[in-house]
Amino acid sequence: MAVAHACPIVSLRDTNHLMRDVLSDVLAVTRLGATVLAQAELVAPFGLAVDPMSEAAIHIVQRGMCWLRAQGDRRPTRLSQGDLVMVCGAGHAIMDSPSTPVLPYAEVLRNMPRRLEKLPAHRRDETTVVLCGKYLFEHRGPHPLISLLPTVIHLRAHETERHPQLPPLLSLLRMEAMQPGSGSELVVPRLMDTLLIFVVRAWLEGQPVGAGGWFGALRDPAIARALSLIHETPSDPWQVESLAKRVGQSRATFSRRFHELVGEPPLAYVTRWRMCLAAKLLSDSSRSLEEIACVVGYESAAALSKAFKRQYRVAPAHFRERGSS
């Protein structure tokens, strides 16, 4: 049961120095973690299969064209030079043609150098070059950020060029992939983190209000305000009625609109956010379970433990132990 308490910490913004907006909160609480970056030059025919994953992958076509088929898609997506695609939490394949059979990407890339050697010099510009990045999120259990994003975000070349931050950022990543230098292990993760934020921004700008899931909800003033309230003071005893009153809507209107835009009822989102914060505090602090329960709005460690185990299928103590091992 979630209740209000006279708690020494009631705002995660104070405890974890989170940034000002809701998206920054999510990114700060669910740290992006390590990244992998590489550039692949591919000779047709090629079909690279990427296994289903809990992370996200980004592919930028530097030269040529290819096709992307994400798990569950009926039709593949054509990617042209300059296009960027982000795939979230799903298996996918990159192919020179929709009809090309696919093999595990490691096997394809292992054999690619021999194929490139056999390619006549005058045909080298016919290859497809793709810059590939992968996020290895520092989060155990269902990753909140992945659950909020669509499976595929596709920015065409003209869309990336329309956002002045993206071209120089992509250029820096390409240089780091081709010629990693001193400090690359620090530079690449920061560039990749920044890229993710700008990609989400660019995608969100193209979504009408009411589209784009959770991120689209941030463009609805009332729902964005409700999300901000939940994020600012997770320890408050939030109810649908109190949230609706704070944003100036009737209970029925607010509940319906929130569910439509966010994809789940208000109190389900409150619980999920509290669990994200609890996981963050378990991983990054030495606070007792009683203190964490107070911060995230539970009356006792036992109440928090029950909710946490239901979300992550592991007790908080075991979650903390795995994080420190």
- The SS3 call for residue 35 is strand
Say if residues 15 and 7 touch (Cβ distance below 8 Å): no
Say if residues 70 and 87 touch (Cβ distance below 8 Å): yes
CATH code at position 313: 1.10.10.60
Same domain, 165 and 305: no
The set of residues, in sequence order, having a beta carbon less than 8 Å from that of 12 and lying 6+ positions away, is 18, 25, 29, 231, 234, 277, 295
Same domain, 65 and 160: yes
Q: Number of H helices and number of E strands within the chain?
A: 15, 10
End residue of a domain, out of 160, 188, 205? 205
**For residue 50, which amino acid is it?**
V
Q: Which domain holds residue 283?
A: 12-29+212-324
Same domain, 102 and 174: yes
Same domain, 38 and 187: yes
Same domain, 248 and 293: yes
Residue 5 lies in a domain: no
Residues in the chain: 325
CATH code at position 129: 2.60.120.280
Residue 142 lies in a domain: no
The structural domain count of the chain equals: 2
Residue 112 lies in a domain: yes
Residue 3 lies in a domain: no
Same domain, 231 and 273: yes
pLDDT band at 87 (very low <50, low <70, confident <90, very high): very high
Same domain, 73 and 175: yes
- Whether residue 222 is predicted with pLDDT greater than 50 in this model: the reply is yes
More confident residue, 95 or 311: 95
For residues 118-123, average pLDDT: 85
Same domain, 48 and 157: yes
Residue 288 lies in a domain: yes
Percent helix, percent strand, percent coil in the chain, to nearest 5: 50, 15, 35
Nearest to 155 by CA among 145, 144, 170: 170
Residue 225 lies in a domain: yes
Same domain, 201 and 231: no
Which region among 83-87, 260-264, 287-291, 298-302 has the lowest average model confidence (pLDDT)?
A: 260-264
pLDDT tens digits, 162-217: 999 999 999 999 999 988 889 888 899 889 888 988 898 888 777 666 565 666 67
What pLDDT is stored for residue 54 in this prediction? 61
Residue 2 lies in a domain: no
> Where are the extended beta strands (E) located within the chain?
34-42, 47-50, 56-63, 66-70, 77-79, 84-88, 92-95, 103-104, 128-136, 152-155
What pLDDT is stored for residue 243 in this prediction? 97
Same domain, 93 and 73: yes
> 221 is written with which tokens?
């003033």
End residue of a domain, out of 164, 179, 205? 205
Residue 289 lies in a domain: yes
pLDDT band at 143 (very low <50, low <70, confident <90, very high): low
pLDDT band at 145 (very low <50, low <70, confident <90, very high): low
C-alpha–C-alpha distance, residues 239 and 256, integer Å: 14
Phi-psi region of 217 (alpha: psi -120 to 50; beta: other; left: phi over 0): alpha
Same domain, 192 and 89: yes
What pLDDT is stored for residue 6 in this prediction? 42
Ranked by mean pLDDT, the top range of 105-119, 141-155, 290-304 is: 290-304
pLDDT tens digits, 5-58: 444 333 334 322 322 467 677 766 655 556 788 999 999 999 999 987 667 899
Same domain, 167 and 233: no
> 10 is written with which tokens?
């009631």
